Chains A and B, each alone.
Chain A
Amino acid sequence: MRNSLREERFSIETIIVNILIILLMSTGVIFSLVTALGLIRLPDVYTRTHAASKSSTLGVLCVLTATFIHFWLIEGIFNTQMVIAIAFLFITAPVGGHLIGRAAYMSGIKVADETVRDDMADALKEHKKKLMDKKTTEQ
């Protein structure tokens, strides 16, 4: 299987696989560029978290899938670690973004002036009231 497609460079299978790789890779690269643009241009931490978690996850996912397909179908190497890495990144990158956003809100960073509504403030107020009620009943 190894180097099976490599010797016949211009067979129809190689061309199809290369077209697939080019499509996936260009999508991933464009999304990586959009991530940088969003991190530079957006106004506050929360919107930047949005840019950094969603689009960068999709971008790196497409690039890794293209690399995996290249090594699998052209070089003949089925790399299992790539599959694990793709699944891991798909799960953990949005979780990291969510945690940073929550930590930023808890440490008291202001939202941008253009923000229309802030549901987290109401939720926090309710939570504090519940905690106070609990304390008074315990005493």
Chain B
Amino acid sequence: MMMFYWISLIIVSIGFTGLLFRLVKGPSIADRVVALDAIGISLVSIVALLSLIIETEFFLEIILLLSILSFIGTIAFAKFLERGEIFDRNNNR
């Protein structure tokens, strides 16, 4: 079983490096934000696999935290890309 977890971790890490490639290369900012979002989600599964390998349940609290942080970062970047400011008080679109 431990061998299986190690192999899964290695495959997810290979996917992670692919996402890093898109983060570095991406032609526009939106590409980089998409890659960053996917990296946050991929990091969550890496933390879950690490907690399975080390056999501790204390890492599981990081999962909720990371998913919330990644979502807030994505929302902030999307609003920034759309209108150039994050907090806006203009309700007439």
Tell me if B's interface is mostly helix, strand, loop or mixed. Answer: helix
Evaluate whether A29 and B12 lie within 8 angstroms (CB atoms) in the complex, with A39-B22, A63-B48, A104-B30 already known.
yes
- Measured as residues with beta carbon below 8 angstroms from the partner, the interface class of chain B is 35 or more
Tell me if A's interface is mostly helix, strand, loop or mixed. Answer: helix
> B30 touching A79 by the CB < 8 A rule?
no
> A60 touching B60 by the CB < 8 A rule?
no
Contacts of A28 in B (CB 8 A): 45
Contacts of B38 in A (CB 8 A): 35-36, 39, 52, 56
B64 within 8 Å of A (CB atoms): yes
Q: How many A-B residue pairs have CB under 8 A?
A: 150
Instruction: Name the interface residues of A22-48: CB closer than 8 Å to any CB of B.
Output: 22, 25-26, 28-29, 32-33, 35-37, 39-40, 45, 48
- Least CB distance from B32 to A in Å reads 10
> B78 touching A102 by the CB < 8 A rule?
yes
> B28 touching A82 by the CB < 8 A rule?
no
> A60 touching B30 by the CB < 8 A rule?
no
> B60 touching A36 by the CB < 8 A rule?
no
